[in-house]
């Protein structure tokens, strides 16, 4: 089981943290099984704001996700992490606090 850091736009990070966003859609998944996602809220916030449990990883036809057709354009398979319990960090962290100097383009594995 792995923990990954994802860069997520602030509007979506907020929805994950308040529990209204139940899936994180991606064009590809991590190769290792992911049990939690650390959330980096990208610009303008630019902070590590919390963590969310991954209940399962899903792969499906992009046509099944009609509202995301632009995002999945030219993809044969669409992926999603089904999200569970959320932990909001009382004090958001900087990337340097995790030993990182820049946000990942897609994701990065973190030590547990």
CATH code at 100? 2.30.130.30
Q: pTM to 2 decimals? A: 0.90
* Structural domain that includes position 65: 2-110
Please say whether the dihedral angle defined by the alpha carbons of residues 11, 69, 19 and 87, taken in this order, is positive or negative: negative
What's residue 17's pLDDT?
97
- The proportion of the chain whose per-residue pLDDT surpasses 90, expressed as a percent, equals 71
Q: How many domains does the chain have?
A: 1
For residues 110 and 107, give the distance between their C-alpha atoms in angstroms, rounded to a whole number. 10
For the stretch 46-85, pLDDT in tens is 999 999 999 999 988 877 765 666 777 788 888 899 999 9
Q: Give the phi and the psi of residue 57 in degrees, each rounded to 5.
A: -105, 140
**Confidence at 27, pLDDT banded by 50, 70, 90:** confident
């Amino acid at each position: 089981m792995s923990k990954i850091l994802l860069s997520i736009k602030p509007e979506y990070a907020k929805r994950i943290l308040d529990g209204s966003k139940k899936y994180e859609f991606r064009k590809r998944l991590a190769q290792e099984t992911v049990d939690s996602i650390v959330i980096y809220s990208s610009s303008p916030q630019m902070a590590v704001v919390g963590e969310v449990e991954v209940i399962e990883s899903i792969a499906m036809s992009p046509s099944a996700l009609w509202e995301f057709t632009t995002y999945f354009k030219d993809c044969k398979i669409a992926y999603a992490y089904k999200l569970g319990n959320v932990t909001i960090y009382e004090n958001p962290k900087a990337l340097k606090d995790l030993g990182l100097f820049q946000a990942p383009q897609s994701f990065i594995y973190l030590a547990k």
